Amino acid sequence: MSLSAQLAGAIHASTETDAGFAVTSSGLSKRFGGGQLAVDQIDLAVPAGSVYGFLGPNGSGKTTTIRMLLGLIRPTAGSHAMLGLPMPGRQADALPLVGSLVEGPAFYPHLSGRANLTRLDAADATADAATARRRIDAALARVGLLGAADKRYKAYSLGMKQRLGIATSLLRPRQLVILDEPTNGLDPQGTREVRALIRQIAADGTTVFVSSHLLAEVEQVCTHVGVMRAGRLVYQGSLAQLRGQAGLLVRTPKPELAAQVLAELGLAGIRQGDGADQEVTAELGAMLPEVICERLVLAGVPVAGLETPRRSLEDEFVELTGEGFDVD
Amino acid sequence: MSIEQGDRALPQAAGGAVAVRPRLDWPDEPRLAQRNPVSAWLRFFASEIRLVFGRPRNLALLGVLGFVPVFFGVVFRLTISSVDGGGGPPFLNQLAGNGVFLALVVLTVMLTVLLLPLSAAVVSGDAIAGEAALGTLRGLLTVPAGRTRLLAVKYAAIVVFSLAACLLVAAMSLVMGLILFHVGQVTLLSGTTVSLGAGVLRVLAVAVFAAAAMASLSAIGLAASTLTQHPVGAIAGVLIVTVASEICDQVPQLSAIHAYLPTHYWLSWDGLFRSPTDWSGVEHGLVSFAVYAVIFGSIAWAKLTSADVSS
Ligand SMILES: Nc1ncnc2c1ncn2[C@@H]1O[C@H](COP(=O)(O)OP(=O)(O)OP(=O)(O)O)[C@@H](O)[C@H]1O
Ligand SMILES: [Mg+2]
């Protein structure tokens, strides 16, 4: 965990000078009226152009964070900026460039999908009425709803509602799209389509900030992840970094000697397997396995086997967020 | 798709800070900067009007309001010939002589038996709380519609609805009066007679005055609407305020505060049917309505612009 904390710190430290972040926050916190600390001093750094997976179990504070980012609720401490503009001071300038879907779709039930989008577009002081029809149809087409555009919203299926919610974030070209659990209620096919849509949005150069409580759902599209647990941001970094923390496993009849060599090489987390299984494990770090093997052999350690097992992302994620089913 | 790819980075201004510049590869964006704020307001307002007048429930309300004059017209037509007035609301005695007075009777009844206040309460109490309950409020705020702008557009649409409701009642009453009763020159309360056209104009002035009363009540409803996420609570609150105010207005011991009650001037338009026209009641009423609108409009604004929207 110390490594991820370091990484988060390093990323955040550079935000003051580096303009390449779509969202930054420092010490952002929210304590609700009941006294509950829903979000606890998080320092977000969402690189521009990234697809940032915002992960965490139920109740970990994802939606609360997104509400604060969008200016819907006031942080009780800390500050944040979107697209380099301080919020909420410059929200009138920032929000038109940010598309969002917060906590599920919400629309007028008696209006059609198209009429609902028209309503939202009309509320946008900076949207052009002359192009509204074309933009709305384009957004509907992108989420595959053009065929059901004139159906009343209350007649939509759960998946269609979710798609319409995503369509609102596509009414205009955006620099940042924030999607809160966009795959909620979608069938596997729909989930795949949302992933494809996210890829497509990102390919246009838009930063995508997508929350989910399932790593597997966003793993394939994310370039970066932030992991929430009980209101704290417990990990933030690129997916490659999260994935890249490989281990080292050496099988040898002389585990003590092997451990000694590994220690000389400066590897961390060295552990000798107990008793019968003659294994030594350590964290690989930046060391190359072939170099380690050579050193072991030179030091007279008979190497029966050497592996660099990569922990699955799922394991990594579960370690970060806890195993428990209960909400903490 | 990695962070290193420079082409994905945000556009940078010379100073190194992020410049939020619309992308130019979208045909509509170059016009962004020159967008006319007035037409943007009108577009939002038109959308709000469509929403208010397109709600099935609000249309049903207007339907009921339009039907009541028909009902009263027929009832009065059947009973007046036998009972011949006596008691009842003011202007009822004049009704047999001139159908124009039907509008005044109906407006008086509908203001006192809560039908018009109910429609104002429903539309205003629903304005913010209804959006919060549906969850559409967060969508509007992230567009961003702007909290102050949203409130202004909402109130403008509510005022239009109140005006439409009162004019509908007046118009239906005039039509029914024309069909069911004798219509001709209008004899005012002071005994002078004016032409039918002048009489109708005075009736329409009463309808506009009633709409102003409903607009001030709607400001109370709008404030209530920002304080709760349950539209029914806000609507009930407005009706309770109305009834409480009307009761207080009847209690002689409370005469000191009568002039400050929100409902006190609702019927103070009879001066319009005197010659020369006595404006004092209308003037006092409009001042009272404006004061209430400003006070409760400010409460609504203060609440909405500072509220956490977590519905
Ligand atoms: N309006 C509110 N008032 C009080 N507490 C709240 C409010 N909204 C959220 N909370 C609390 O804040 C915590 C975080 O909630 P949040 O909705 O942000 O979680 P989440 O990560 O989005 O969860 P999920 O995956 O279930 O959507 C929860 O414990 C919740 O009970
Ligand atoms: Mg959530």
Task: Report pLDDT digits (tens) over B7-24.
Answer: 333 333 333 333 333 333
Of B3, B16, B28, the CB nearest to A128: B28
Q: Is A223 in contact with B2 (Cβ distance < 8 A)?
A: yes
> Is the pLDDT score of A9 beyond 80?
no
> Residue-wise over B123-144: b if at least 16 C-beta within 10 A, else e?
bbbbbbbbbbbbbbbbbbbbbb
Chain B nearest C-alpha distance from A202 (Å): 8
pLDDT of residue A324: 54
Predicted interface score ipTM higher than 0.85: no
Cα–Cα distance measured from residue A72 to residue B136, given in angstroms and rounded to the nearest whole number: 12
| Residue whose CA lies nearest to ligand 1 atom number 2 | A32
Q: Is A108 in the pocket of ligand 1 (CB under 6 A)?
A: no
Please give the mean pLDDT across all residues of chain B: 84
**Can you tell me the distance from the alpha carbon of A125 to that of A127, in angstroms, rounded to the nearest whole number?**
6
Cα Rg, chain B, nearest whole Å: 25
Whether ligand 1 lies within 6 angstroms of the CB of A34 is answered as yes
Mutate to test the pocket of ligand 1, among A62, A66, A211, A218 (most ligand atoms within 8 A of CB): A62
Choose, out of B35, B45, B126, B143, the residue to mutate when testing the contact with A (most A CBs < 10 Å). Answer: B143
pLDDT of A328 > 70? The answer is: no
pLDDT at B24: 33
Task: State whether the beta carbon of A131 lies less than 6 angstroms from ligand 1.
Answer: no
Which region among A239-253, A302-316, B30-44 has the lowest average model confidence (pLDDT)? B30-44
- Which pair of structure tokens corresponds to residue A299? 């030091």
Nearest CB to A84; choose among B17, B142, B150: B17
Q: Which chain B residues are within 8 Å of A50, Cβ to Cβ?
A: 1-3, 8
Contact A63, A117 (CB under 8 A): no
Most confident range (mean pLDDT) of A31-35, A314-318, B183-187 is A31-35
pLDDT (mean) for B200-217? 95
* Average pLDDT of the segment spanning B169-176: 94
Contact B91, B103 (CB under 8 A): no
CB A125 within 8 A of CB B35: yes
pLDDT reported for residue B6: 32
pLDDT for res A118: 96
Partners of residue A54 on adjacent β-strands: A211, A226
A89 interfacial to chain B (CB closer than 8 Å): no
Q: Which of B3, B16, B39 lies closest to A223 in CB terms?
A: B3
For position B234, what pLDDT does the model report? 95
Ligand nearest to the CA of B310: 1
**Domain spans of chain B, in order of start:** 25-305
Instruction: Inspect the interface and report whether the beta carbons of B144 and A85 lie closer than 8 Å.
Output: no
Q: Do the chains contact at A20 and B2, CB–CB below 8 Å?
A: no
Judging contacts by C-beta atoms under 8 Å, the chain A residues touching residue B20 are 83-85, 93-94, 97, 175
